[in-house]
Chain A
Amino acid sequence: MSAERCAHDAGCITCGDAATRTRVLEMDAARRLAVCVDADGRRETVDLGIVDAVAPGDALLVHAGTALHHEPASEDAHRGDGMEVPA
């Protein structure tokens, strides 16, 4: 894990009460985990324990490896965000 991996822009995600937008690529529904990608192409495993009914392609707001907020792909107006979208 590199120092920049902990960073959101120039700050620390945890310390700044910040969150990163990611998109869901794959899911392990039984374990409530997802592999997500952010706008810079970085992938991470995300805990889905506190959000509902996530599907591949949905957008998540992630803080310290946990999804805080879920926006279904159907409500996601901005697709031109540079993040991968699963086929």
Chain B
Amino acid sequence: MRFAQEFRDGELGRALAAELPALVAPGRTYKLMEVCGGHTHAIYRYGLESMLPEGVELVHGPGCPVCVLPMGRVDDAVAIAQRSEVILTCFGDMLRVPGSHGSLLEAKARGADVRMVYSPLDALRIAAENPEREVVFFAIGFETTAPSTALTLKRARADGVRNFSCVCNHVTIEPPLRALLDSPELELDGFIGPGHVATVIGAQPFQFIPREYGKPIAVSGFEPLDVLQSIQMLLAQLAAGRCEVEIQYRRVVSWEGNPRALAAMEEVFAPREHFEWRGLGSIPDSALRISDAYADLDAERRFQLPGVQIADPRECQCGEVLRGTIKPWECRVFGTACTPERAIGACMVSPEGACAAYYSYGRYAREREVV
């Protein structure tokens, strides 16, 4: 299976990087946005920015679902977790995201039963093992993760697990990309597209980017050679005056996506009219709620939630980082008041957040080497 080590070959990486300058017009700047937190992480971890020609700049996108979750949703999770009958389950990074009354980890320290799970299936197993408790899965993620939640809710229904429910925070990728493309403060030249989201929805839905906005996109894998090759594909398109959806991550991504995953999502979820994104504000039809057919498994209907919109801390500039208008180190609290150990903003919480990735791998090398 060709997924990892063979796509981390340093020799191949240097050879690929050596081809890039020929694709760059002298004096021109290129702003390419990597959509996924996983891409951001790979870029910093493997030092890919230092391999790019002068003028090519990578802008970090809003693809980390933890980073884009607003404080009000964290407060909702804390409110549920504080109920004595509830076991609240969530993915690991979600535990440390600050809400206005602290994080889920702090709620756990105060006595709430908060448990980290690796998959929604684990949450369902906890529900089956604790029939006297209410087990709530706090679901986050883009279309990559949404099928897992959908399949688990279908399984809960089929198995008759009645003490299980879900707070659905799943978001969809197209609306925030449109919001970024419509933003006058951000001029992008192309996108390194989300590989595993495209495994589910296919590459086809990204056609609006070249068609309506005249920008190229390369749907990319997550290893360093994947990302470098995607940059090469984008620069080649721009050099040739082309503007298309290309699939770099061909070993996994198809044009049509996964019809079974899409059918499961269609059955279990419905579009949410409005959803607040940290840094991007409210974006219509950008998230999913649990459909009426599965209302009995919807924790938002089962429990009373505060549902309050909370402004981000004033000193935090996560919004500008997520919109790509400043680099992480340009935030006024980066690396001082805000660190991975004591994060103020969500971008510093998740390892895939631009700030945490930069803090971990790049904070001592702000001046980029030029190939």
Contact = CB atoms under 8 A, between A and B. Distances in A.
Contact of A16 (B147, B152, B222): B222
B92 A64 contact: no
A6 B95 CA distance: 12
Interface of A: 1, 3, 5-7, 9-19, 21, 39, 44-45, 47, 49-51, 59, 61, 63-66, 68-69, 71, 76-78, 81
Given A1-B118, A15-B350, A63-B144, A50 B264 contact: yes
Contacts of A9: 41, 45
B121 A12 contact: no
A58 to B, nearest CB: 9
A65 B121 CA distance: 7
Nearest to A59: B1
Given A68-B144, A76-B1, 17 more contacts: A1-B115, A10-B360, A11-B37, A11-B38, A11-B351, A12-B66, A14-B140, A16-B36, A17-B144, A17-B222, A47-B151, A47-B152, A64-B118, A65-B121, A65-B122, A68-B200, A78-B1
Interface of B: 1-4, 6, 36-38, 41, 45, 63-67, 91-93, 115-122, 140-142, 144-145, 147-148, 151-152, 154-155, 194-197, 199-200, 222, 252, 258, 260-261, 264, 350-353, 360
Nearest to B200: A68
A19 B141 CA distance: 13
Contacts of B261: 50, 68
Given A17-B196, A50-B260, A78-B2, A7 B119 contact: no
Given A9-B45, A17-B195, A49 B118 contact: no
B92 to A, nearest CB: 4
Contacts of A39: 4
A61 B119 CA distance: 14
B352 A68 contact: no
A16 B40 CA distance: 9
Contact of A64 (B2, B115, B119, B260): B119
B260 to A, nearest CB: 4
Contact of A50 (B1, B37, B258, B350): B258
Contact of B151 (A11, A14, A15, A50): A50
Contacts of B116: 1, 3, 6
Contacts of B117: 1
B351 A14 contact: no
B38 A18 contact: yes
A15 B93 contact: yes
A17 B140 CA distance: 11
